[in-house]
Amino acid sequence: MEFILSFDRPGFKPDEAPSPDRRSLYYCITGFQGKGPESEPHSEKHQPACDGPVPADARDRPLVAVAGPTGSGKSELALEIAAKFNGEIVNCDSLQVFRYFDIGTAKLPMADRRNIPHHLIDIVDPDQLFTAGEYTRLARETIAGISARGRLPVLAGGTGFYLRALLDGLFEGPSRDQTLRDRLAARELRHPASLHRLLTRFDSEAARKIHPNDVPKVTRALEVCLLMRRPVSELFRQGRDALRGYRTLKLGLLPDRDALYQRLDLRCAMMFEAGLADEVRRILARGFKPTLKPFESHGYKQALQLIHGELNPREAVFYAQRKTRNYAKRQITWFRRESGLVWLKGFGDSPEVRDAAIERVGAFLG
């Protein structure tokens, strides 16, 4: 069988009518005949993430976000703000959404939450796919509910992409197609790195922005290209579904870097002392595979390597500390590009930063 690939516009378009012995690459990947998605409609129509949750009268409702690198004291500062201004906290950390991952994600124990409601923590199992799109939808619904109760929603977390998706929106891509994803996964298994090469042919701009080893992102980009028959980069430029009905104060914590790294090193060591490896063993005992996405995060990856005998305890702590410092550096770089973010120099649990934040929020609320 001969594979053909045709382009009649920038980006990929499948052949209109492949002959029995000449099938398009689109057909070989998707299994769809003819024009593709138009002749095989999806049963689930994509809905914009913000449809419904914001009432029509929700004009200029306040929203506060506390961002910054890991270990900077975001949770502590968010608690202070919520306690002072009758607020509820909405998680903005991509790992704290997963159940059972507690020690390595620095989840606040229930006893430390001061009876302040916390949302979007422990909402999915580790083997469930959870995307920025799902987070955006759930977070907007949660924020709308908090506002409707007359309380202040306070976002807290260091996942910058989640914050940006929530506030600025994501382009309206198609819903996931599991059959197509399974085909792509099988292709990648047979030919490692082939999906990124394929994405380069369909959308070179998107391929340049995604690392070849980031298979989930490559898969999603290909999925969009194939289902929409247009480059994902072109769709992204068409505009996004920004949060409506809110004015947002974004606070960013920026401790001294040396002090932050010292705190992170200490915290990593304490996590292992507190039983991080035992927590990983309990998660595995529940039947979850060590190849799941949450296990790729710093701390958990090294705990797995410790359990498997690939690292000794000292090495596990050392590499977890190094990975965590690198992650904090990347977070700072990301948040420096976040427009409108008000930087507070110091840790969120310091009295000076707390007082400055309270003053800022008070002025913001008027």
| Contacts of 311 by beta carbon, 8 Å cutoff, 6+ apart | 302, 305, 319
Count other C-beta atoms under 10 Å from residue 359's C-beta. Answer: 10
From the list 235, 172, 171, the residue with the least C-alpha distance to 205 is 235
Q: pLDDT tens-digit profile of 192-209?
A: 999 999 999 999 999 998
Q: Does 34 reside within a domain?
A: yes
Count other C-beta atoms under 10 Å from residue 172's C-beta. Answer: 16
Q: Does 214 reside within a domain?
A: yes
Give how many domains the chain has, as a whole number: 2
Residues 231 and 271 in one domain: no
Domain that holds residue 178: 2-41+172-237
Residue 211: predicted pLDDT: 87
Q: What is the CATH number of the domain that holds 286?
A: 1.10.287.890
The interaxial angle of helices 74-84 and 351-365, nearest 10 deg, is 50
| Residue owning tokens 């009432």 | 55
Residue 39: predicted pLDDT: 32
Q: Does 158 reside within a domain?
A: no
* Structural domain ending residue among the three candidates 237, 265, 287: 237
Q: pLDDT tens-digit profile of 146-194?
A: 999 999 999 999 999 999 999 999 877 788 899 999 999 999 999 999 9
Q: What is the CATH number of the domain that holds 203?
A: 1.10.20.140
| Distance in angstroms (rounded) separating the CA atoms of residues 346 and 252 | 10
Q: How many residues does the chain have?
A: 366
Residues 197 and 233 in one domain: yes
Cα angle, residue 357 at apex, residues 349 and 66 outer, rounded to 5°? 75
Residues 206 and 267 in one domain: no
From the list 310, 297, 308, 309, the residue with the least C-alpha distance to 271 is 297
Residues 220 and 261 in one domain: no
Q: Tell me which residues of the chain have a pLDDT lower than 50.
A: 1-58
Q: Does 85 reside within a domain?
A: no
